[in-house]
Every structure is written in C-alpha cells, then in structure tokens.
Amino acid sequence: MRNVFAKTVTELSDIYPELVMLAGDIGNRLFDSYKARHPDRFYNCGVAEANMTGVASGLAASGMRPITYTITPFNTVRCLEQIRLDICYPDLPVIVVGTGSGLSYAGLGATHHSMEDIAILRTLPNMHIVCPADPVEVRLALHDALRLGRPTYIRLGKKGEPVIHSSDPDFRIGRGITIRNGSDVAILGVGNMLATALQSAEQLNHHGVSAMVASLHTIKPLDEELLAGIFSLHKLVIVLEEHSLIGGAGSAVLEWGSLNRVDLRKLICFGGPDRFLYACGEQREARASVGLTSENISQQILSRLQEPDAPWS
Amino acid sequence: MINSTQLAARFRARVVEMSHAAGTAHLASSLSCMDIVAVLYHSVLRLDPLNPGWKDRDRFILSKGHAATALYAALAWKGFLTEEQLESYGRAGSLLEEHPSPKLEGVEAATGSLGHGLPCGCGIALAGHIKKEQYRTFVLMSDGECNEGSVWEASMFAAANRLGALCAFVDFNKWQATGRSREVLALDPLVDKFRAFGWEVHEIDGHDHQQILQSVQDVSPSRQKPTMVVAHTVKGKGVSFMEDDNNWHYRIPTAEEVQLAKAELGVL
C-alpha cells in the first residue's frame, strides 16, 4: 500500500499545485520521485508529530492541501489533540495518513501496533475515516479525499498487500464496494482484512453457505444504504477489522443498528481483544493469536448458522 | 488619530468591563499582553476588515487563547466585529466564547489549548513561502505556554525551514496559572533558549510601544531566520491593584473595581 501511496501522491501533486507532503522522518527514498518533481512541496517534519499536524493546519488554512504521513500510532493518538483542535474544529482539508496500521508492524511490538486509532478518531466531529483494502483503493481513496476537501484519516497497511480489485471500482468515500454477491451471510471487510473476508467466503462456499463480501472502506460516514440492505436480506452480518473490538467499525455498525432498530442478533464482529500483544511474531502470527484468520472466522459463522435460536429460524 | 498608547488604555478598560459583565477569568492575562496587541493592530498588521480572507493579509494568532478579550477588543476596533457582537461576549449563543472560535472573522486559529499557535503559525508562514507571498505571520504566546513541547518542536521547524516571515512573541509576565513560571519549570534563560534554537531574538520591555514596533520591523519573507520577541511584561498591567498579583488570573472585578480601573486608565 505504501508504495502505491507514494506513487499516487507524486501523480496528484502534478494535478494539485496546493498539495504539500509532510512526513514524520520516515519513507527514506520512498518519496524520491516526488521530491525530485516538487522539492518545494515536501517537508520532513522530523520526529515531531504534534508540530507536523499543527503545520498542516496552518498550510490548509492558507489554501494548501497538506497530507501528513508517518507510522499510524504516531500520526494519530500521539498528536490527537492537534488533529482535534487544529484540523477538525476549523474543519480544514488535511489528510492524515497512517502507515502500518493494525498489526502490520506486529513484530515491532505494541509501540507500533495500532488497534485503537479508528475508535479514537471517529469520535471527532468533521473527521472522515477511510481504510483502503488494497493498493487500488489506496489510490482511489487519495483521489477522493482530495475531492472531498474535509478532515480525512486514511489508514494504510504496509507494503505488499495483494491487489484485490482487477479494475478500478466506483470508489466514493462513504460508500462501500460489493466485491462478491451471496445470499446467506454478508461479510464486511475493513481495510486490509478484505482479503481474509474473501477467503472466509470461499471456505463458507465449500460448506454450502453463500456469502456476500463488501469492502467497508469508510467507517465514517458509514454506508447506511449498504447496511440497511444487508441487514434486511442476510441471515448474518459479519464485520472483520484489524482493530480493537472496542470502538472500531463493528462498534460503528452496532451504533447504527441500535439507532435504526435492525436485528443486531445478526451481527458478529471480529477484531482484536482488550489487551496488548506481547509475544514476538509477524502480522500473520499476531492475527492468528487473536482469531483473525479465515479458518476461525468461517468456522464461527458456520457454528452461528447452526444455532437453534437464531433470529432467522 | 488615536495613538497606540491611548488605544491600549482603551482596550484595557474594555477588557476589564468585559470580564465583569460576563463573569469570566483570565483578565490579568489580557492586560499583560495588551500593549503588544495594541501596537500590532494599530501600527503593524496589514488587514482589511471588509475582506477578512484577503490572501495578502498579515496573520495574527493569539496562541494564549485565554486572553481572548484582548483580541476581541482589537478586532472590534479594527472593524472585524461590531460593537453589538463585542457586547455579546460570554452570553449564551454568542460566538465570542472565552477562547477564540474559528467561526469568527479575523480569528486565524482556534486557540485555548496552549502550544497550538506556533505550529499553526509555522504552517501559515510555510504556505506563504511556498506561494512566494509577502504576508507575515505573528504569534503571541504566554510564558507558561512554553511548558508545552510543541512550542519547541515548532521552534526547531521554523529555524530549519528559515521562516523569516514568522514572528512570535512571548508575553513574559513571569506567572502561570498556579505559580511563578520560572519556578514551575526551568524556563530561564528563555532568550538563550530561543537563540540556541536558531531564532533572531529580541528582548524588550513589552509595555514600551517603541520597542515593540522596532522588534518587528525586520520581519519579512526575505529573512533567513524567524523572529522571537521575549517581551518582559507585568501581569495585570495598567491597573495598580491587579499588577503582578496572580489572584487576578481567575478573579473577576466587581462593579466598583471596574470604575477604579477605568479611572486609573484615564478611560471614563
């Protein structure tokens, strides 16, 4: 995702003369092409995220279109008050990009994990939360965030995520993308969990369960039309996210469902636990340790479908 | 035309009245920085109240947002706010809150949480640098505010990026909310600190209008260093029974005290 991010901002900087990249002392060589083309619009702000975020607000207030970029926890919770007061309060067009979200940097330890960012940032008024699922969505999300011109948080994985979209889907912030149709259950993949969602659907298919899969790339604002449709048509609605179960996409769906009186017994949320992860291991092992594998997910869906007191029986 | 000294006295009387009428704190903080605010709005800032978003305007950020009444008095005098708006300060439904709101014309940044104005000012100055514009950016901080790490992050950023069109003031009144600012944290030597951080530093009497004016005369996009003005001030300046008495960080003047203050200020 991050290579596509760098490539896309380089292309967009040609289209938007106001675009300014602010990086928190990361991405060595990643932005060489950008810097070569627009040396006056790239600033390494050092290891000082509070200032970087404030600088972005000043740029945006002066007609520029800044993008802040560093490792997710440092670009979100580290400088939360700057995001809240400098960007969201005056409703300025700043794009905050976190790279290495969720458990992408599992091996680096909990300092570099980011399992709370969606929960925290989505409470901020005016903020938009976008979690692209693959490199294609990263590119499209950046285009759409610039079109939107509002405070927007884009949550990236790291490099090497598989391409899911074989062609460009119709991408709009706030509107989910249906990837595969299915009639029994609906699986909403958030960000880099979309690949796992598709694997789960494939496994369910082997057991005779038809699963619809959508990319729920925007957590705020939620795609209410999509949610209303799947809650009325499907037996189960599953939310998969590489984020804490507290306050993330699943919680957002719960809040929406409670307000709209849908049958929330249909909802199953998969995410991280309310504890730090201490053990060594890369993303794959970390996900397995918290149950974020397609095998576990499809098994739990099958079990739920067989429960005698299910809302559809 | 009124001179900046007369204007500062008039502003001081106004903020004393506002604190009393609205029952709001931080009066002494407004009084200490009033000469800086008066000189900037009287003689320095290039502004057009009929066109608040004018792209070439100088920018002023009151980073010590708790001194909002000082800013409101100046904005009203300059014509950004009507007298009716100023009268509404602190009343339910008014946009004139106890800290400056981004919804108000003439307010460049939402402040009130300390340590936000200088980073934001860096961004505004950087935008001017990128677009090769001639405006200047002024930020007014408190000494207590220099406790915030973001002030020092921004200080390094401004020097690294040679933001010559950026000028910051420290209203060095020697107090913060609960104690002497030199004692709460090791603030001294403040001038040396900013000099070591790469700024052009002026140390002045923050109540001497000529010194305030001189300290900002070289601020320009063509300069290679940002300018820091460490302005020695007295908290509560201009009202004898408030001067250097930190109880007035929170105290609200009575009607009688308002009259006494106005008499001292020669504004009746």
Across the A/B interface, how many CB contacts are shorter than 8 Å? 99
Of B55, B116, B156, the CB nearest to A82: B116
Please list every residue in chain A whose beta carbon sits closer than 8 Å to the beta carbon of residue B157: 45-46, 48, 51, 55
Q: Do B119 and A55 touch (CB under 8 A)?
A: yes
Query: In this model, does residue B1 exceed pLDDT 70?
Result: yes
Could you tell me if the ipTM is greater than 0.85? yes
Say whether A177-305 and A2-155 share the same fold. Answer: yes
**3-state secondary structure labels for all residues of A48-64:** CHHHHHHHHHHHHHCCC
pLDDT tens sequence across A80-111: 999 999 999 999 999 999 999 999 999 999 99
Domain boundaries in chain A? 2-155, 177-305
Q: Do A59 and B110 touch (CB under 8 A)?
A: no
Task: Measure Cα distances from B18 to B77, B79, B89, B178 in Å.
Answer: 15, 18, 7, 23
A50 touches chain B (CB under 8 A): yes
Give the CATH fold of the A2-155 domain.
Rossmann fold (3.40.50)
A68 touches chain B (CB under 8 A): no
The model's confidence at residue A246, banded by pLDDT at 50, 70 and 90, is: very high
Q: Do B102 and A89 touch (CB under 8 A)?
A: yes
Of B110, B157, B161, the CB nearest to A90: B110
Which pLDDT belongs to residue A312?
A: 65
Which pLDDT belongs to residue B136?
A: 98
Distance CA B125, CA B137 (A): 6
- With a pLDDT cut of 90, the percent of chain B lying above it is 99
Class of domain A177-305: alpha beta
The nearest alpha carbon in chain A to B130 belongs to A40
pLDDT tens sequence across A262-300: 999 999 999 999 999 999 999 999 999 999 999 999 999
Tokens of B87: 């009268």
Q: How far is A20 from chain B (nearest CA, A)?
A: 9
Distance CA A190, CA A226 (A): 14
Query: In this model, does residue A309 exceed pLDDT 90?
Result: no
pLDDT tens sequence across B186-230: 999 999 999 999 999 999 999 999 999 999 999 999 999 999 999
Please list every residue in chain A whose beta carbon sits closer than 8 Å to the beta carbon of residue B124: 58-59, 61-62
Contact criterion met (CB below 8 Å) for A112 and A71: yes
**3-state secondary structure labels for all residues of chain B:** CCCHHHHHHHHHHHHHHHHHHHCCCCHHHHHHCHHHHHHHHHHHCCCCCCCCCCCCCCEEEECCHHHHHHHHHHHHHHCCCCHHHHHCCCCCCCCCCCCCCCCCCCCCCCCCCCCCHHHHHHHHHHHHHHCCCCCCEEEEEECHHHHCHHHHHHHHHHHHCCCCCEEEEEEECCEECCEEHHHHCCCCCHHHHHHHCCCEEEEEECCCHHHHHHHCCCCCCCCCCCEEEEEECCCCCCCCCCCCCHHHHCCCCCHHHHHHHHHHHCCC
Q: How far is B97 from chain A (nearest CA, A)?
A: 14
Query: In this model, does residue A313 exceed pLDDT 70?
Result: no
Give the CATH fold of the B4-265 domain.
Rossmann fold (3.40.50)
Instruction: Please state, rounded to an integer, the average pLDDT across all residues of chain B.
Output: 97
Q: Which of A22-36, A167-181, B34-48 has the lowest mean pLDDT?
A: A22-36
A81 touches chain B (CB under 8 A): yes
Instruction: Please state, rounded to an integer, the average pLDDT across all residues of chain A.
Output: 96
Please list every residue in chain A whose beta carbon sits closer than 8 Å to the beta carbon of residue B149: 50
Cα dihedral B177→B182→B185→B190 (10° resolution): 120
A59 touches chain B (CB under 8 A): yes
pLDDT tens sequence across A119-145: 999 999 999 999 999 999 999 999 999
A137 sits in which H/E element: helix A135-148
Q: Over range B90-112, report the average pLDDT.
A: 96
CA atoms within 13 A on the CB side of A237: 23
